[in-house]
Structure formats: structure tokens, C-alpha cells
């Protein structure tokens, strides 16, 4: 394990950064105890002379805990349930998930 891997693991282990969730792949069995980092995002732009604002929620899970992520997968925390809308694996081995509240 590299120092970079250890730093990522430390962030996911931090109770102030990540929460436990149940990750359920489409057509698969639920994976309990997966660590999830939730982030909110906002974007502002202009279209046809009007200001347009978008917001959303993004989640991050480690590939070491979720081998394959796909659109339609489900995530449940103690507070909310989400449906995965988009998926991207970053260079650190962390799935970047676009989420929608279920």
C-alpha cells in the first residue's frame, strides 16, 4: 500500500467525511458497511439571457469495496436512499457517482 492509498483510506475511515451505507448493484446482492462520501454541488450558468442554477448530489465509494458501479444501482444510508445516475472511476480507484434521491 502506498502513502497515497493510506491517505484515501484515512479519509474514508473518518466519521466526519464518510458514512456507512448499503450499496445494492442492479440485479445483485446488497453490500453492507460500504463507506460513502456525500457531496453537494451547485453550478450557475447563462442561457438565453437568464441565469440558470443547477444543484445535485454526488457520492464517492472505493473500488476496493464496490468492484463495479453502474447506473441504476441503489445506495441507502441511515438518512436517505439514492439511485445512481452516472458513474466514473477516477485515477485513485474511487467511483464518482451522480446521485438522485429515491
Work out the pLDDT band at 73, boundaries 50, 70, 90.
very high
97 within 8 A of 60, measured Cβ to Cβ: yes
- Rounded to 10 degrees, the C-alpha dihedral 23/83/17/92 comes to 80
- CA–CA separation, 58 and 81 (whole Å): 13
21-71 tens-digit pLDDT: 999 999 999 999 999 999 998 888 888 889 888 888 999 999 999 999 999
**Can you give the pTM of this predicted structure?**
0.85
30-42 tens-digit pLDDT: 999 999 999 998 8
80-94 tens-digit pLDDT: 999 999 999 999 999
- CA–CA separation, 58 and 27 (whole Å): 22
Amino acid at each position: 500500500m502506498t502513502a497515497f492509498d493510506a491517505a484515501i483510506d484515512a479519509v474514508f475511515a473518518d466519521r466526519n467525511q464518510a458514512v456507512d451505507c448499503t450499496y445494492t448493484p442492479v440485479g445483485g446482492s446488497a453490500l453492507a458497511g460500504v463507506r460513502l462520501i456525500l457531496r453537494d454541488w451547485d453550478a450557475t450558468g447563462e442561457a438565453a439571457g437568464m441565469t440558470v442554477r443547477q444543484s445535485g448530489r454526488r457520492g464517492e465509494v472505493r473500488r476496493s469495496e464496490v468492484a463495479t458501479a453502474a447506473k441504476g444501482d441503489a445506495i441507502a444510508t441511515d438518512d436517505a436512499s439514492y439511485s445512481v445516475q452516472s458513474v466514473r472511476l477516477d485515477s485513485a480507484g474511487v467511483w464518482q457517482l451522480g446521485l438522485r434521491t429515491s
